[in-house]
Structure 1
């Protein structure tokens, strides 16, 4: 962290026209790694091999080596400050920008990681602006790899891709959040949040609601659309070696009247329970989650509204551990997500036609050179079953979107992926 009272007063006076700022902190992370991603796609059982061009392979591989930014912790630069208002009341702000230090493409032009203003006191904290969602905190804090890099939580990887897929399927990106931090999974814009105060004997929590900000028009049926709205909560307990928390979030990614009087909605509902426990140095992690992608529609038939519904269910689980080793730390995690499609009667119940699953095993080691600088190495492998049934989501590779992609066109289906990160992280 960098603190400078004179700089703080100068910046506050310049930006706000006042010099009452109690403190201002400039902070950030610069994280770079050499990363490699490799994928394998195959012709799944049951697909006719005669569709393959003559002399072609029954499996395809792709690989990519890159200099990645933020494979251990996301690279960033930010400013935060607090003003003491007296009587236990304080005002604060937080502006945080993503930083692509591999090529410098992203800088101070946006504070998309977080941009909030808060009022806090004995009642807790009221926070307004763009902020992280409750679900993302569980996927990140209860993962030894912090939900990032090749070892990151498979639950988080699938949730990210689901957020992208559903938003694009129902129109434009939600609240301008794609692709860097998909709304409303990683973060949400237009958020009103409340956080419980400290000192509740280990109890903590938050409630969040994001406004859709769509215009209500008298001439439009069903106006306003609620597309973009999000509501969620997180409640936890931390005392001694134990930390446990549960979350629930609902995101409205589609809400529109279609030609012919059909009203369609699409909502993603996620619930998770995560925990960590320190057993004398080693730390155990666990999480279970359930995400429902529900598309509903209702159309007029003989004067009645006939509803239809199709729901995709993603059930996830993670087990992980960190073990200290001198100035270093060993990390390991196993995560799995299973997809089930209840698009009945189109998909026979209990058959593979409506299912897919992916499992990831990740191993890593980090070594602290100082309090601020860390070297790290991670390797991970993903195995995918019936990936053709959900290629956009279950075909998640070990790298960020757009790297180490699978061959999913034609008759091919994602089958496996492997990746590694070798990097250095500096915190300031």
Structure 2
């Protein structure tokens, strides 16, 4: 009898401990069929199966433990999925791999993650920073290596504030881990105000030595206003490269979009202008139209159409996983179409 009581006590205590922690498996599988004309300067077209046309496909694990007194510990491991070929190049957790402590003071994260400067202002892109319709301001403009686009940083410590009357913000520092120089070092953050229908944010990122003798910074302003029948979004951004012994190079990017509920889904239209001062003042205009129809809370079908017109020295191409293009050639236009299915779990 005594042993039974002891066993019940142990089971009860372990159950209470387990109730204070949890681990969640989550993900998105987004795949479809796409077509892009003039995928290169020769005028060839490209079509086939692609991934991530509406949201980036991913799989991840996240967990949290209640430490008491309002303090929580957590982890987040997330990697990208390529359903078209089953991740032929291998799977990793380079989308996010962090451990964190959070409470009334906010949250502190350690590891590889989205940069604070990107995570907020990129949210104003109606095409969720994926697929052919996405706003291309966070491009790796000059073909440099690593995380030069400022989207993610390794070796980073970041802090996210709690919501304070609608105001929130974050700051991050990515260590270069070099014995000399600062190649790969990141610093950045954002401040934002979210209240009712209005949302506005300002972010700044600085990444040292994204290429030989080249440092990059970006200033971004994003905003949205929900009128109920339609929601308006906008982004203004300047990316500047500081080059030793040479003039600075910069790209100014602008975006204006609108979305509205239609039936069981949402229609969206977005215009972007990329003013590339570094390429003989080349400019590119992009007009994107999309519709997402929700079959359930977790499953949707969608279609995207995007037209990009280069002018002067500009040679940008529409972005799409597995349908990436070389660009149609300086001053030429390109059109893309996507139809796909997205399922989340």
TM-score (norm 2): 0.89
- Give the whole-Å Cα distance in 2 for the aligned partners of 1:19 and 1:189: 32
- Give the whole-Å Cα distance in 2 for the aligned partners of 1:138 and 1:79: 22
Q: 1:404 to 1:183 in 2, by over 3 A?
A: closer
CA shift, 1:230, in A, is: 0.5
CA shift, 1:123, in A, is: 1.3
| Equivalent residue number for residue 225 of structure 1 | 181
| Equivalent residue number for residue 69 of structure 1 | 51
- Give the whole-Å Cα distance in 1 for the aligned partners of 2:106 and 2:341: 37
Please point out which of 201, 205, 221 is paired with 2:169.
Answer: 205
CA shift, 1:407, in A, is: 5.8
Q: Is the 8 A contact 1:244 1:274 kept in 2?
A: yes
- Give the whole-Å Cα distance in 2 for the aligned partners of 1:40 and 1:119: 46
Q: 1:197 to 1:293 in 2, by over 3 A?
A: same
| Equivalent residue number for residue 154 of structure 1 | 136
CA shift, 1:139, in A, is: 5.0
Aligned length: 330
| Equivalent residue number for residue 330 of structure 1 | 267
Q: 1:402 to 1:227 in 2, by over 3 A?
A: farther
- Give the whole-Å Cα distance in 2 for the aligned partners of 1:35 and 1:83: 42
Q: 1:254 to 1:72 in 2, by over 3 A?
A: closer
Q: How does 1:69-148 map to 2 (within 5 A)?
A: 69-105=51-87, 109-138=91-120, 140-148=122-130
Report the 3-state secondary structure (helix = DSSP H, G, I; strand = E; otherwise coil) of the residue aligned with 2:143.
helix
CA shift, 1:375, in A, is: 0.5
Over residues 172-207 of structure 1, what are the superposed CA-to-partner deviations in whole Å (9 max), with x where a residue is unaligned? xx3xxxxxxx35522111010001013x00011100
Q: How does 1:265-414 map to 2 (within 5 A)?
A: 265-296=213-244, 308-341=245-278, 354-387=280-313, 394-400=315-321, 403-406=324-327, 413-414=330-331
Report the 3-state secondary structure (helix = DSSP H, G, I; strand = E; otherwise coil) of the residue aligned with 1:310.
coil
TM-score (norm 1): 0.73
CA shift, 1:405, in A, is: 2.5
CA shift, 1:338, in A, is: 0.3
Say which structure is richer in helix: 1
Q: Is the 8 A contact 2:121 2:203 kept in 1?
A: no
- Give the whole-Å Cα distance in 2 for the aligned partners of 1:101 and 1:203: 39
Report the 3-state secondary structure (helix = DSSP H, G, I; strand = E; otherwise coil) of the residue aligned with 1:377.
strand
| Equivalent residue number for residue 166 of structure 1 | 144
Q: 1:81 to 1:254 in 2, by over 3 A?
A: closer
What RMSD, in angstroms, separates the aligned Cα atoms of the two structures?
A: 2.3
Q: Is the 8 A contact 1:39 1:397 kept in 2?
A: no
- Give the whole-Å Cα distance in 2 for the aligned partners of 1:37 and 1:197: 43
Higher mean displacement: 134-143 or 313-322: 134-143
Report the 3-state secondary structure (helix = DSSP H, G, I; strand = E; otherwise coil) of the residue aligned with 2:181.
coil
Q: Is the 8 A contact 2:34 2:47 kept in 1?
A: yes
Q: Is the 8 A contact 1:399 1:419 kept in 2?
A: no
Q: How does 1:8-19 map to 2 (within 5 A)?
A: none
Q: 1:183 to 1:110 in 2, by over 3 A?
A: farther
CA shift, 1:254, in A, is: 4.8
CA shift, 1:133, in A, is: 1.5
Report the 3-state secondary structure (helix = DSSP H, G, I; strand = E; otherwise coil) of the residue aligned with 2:327.
coil
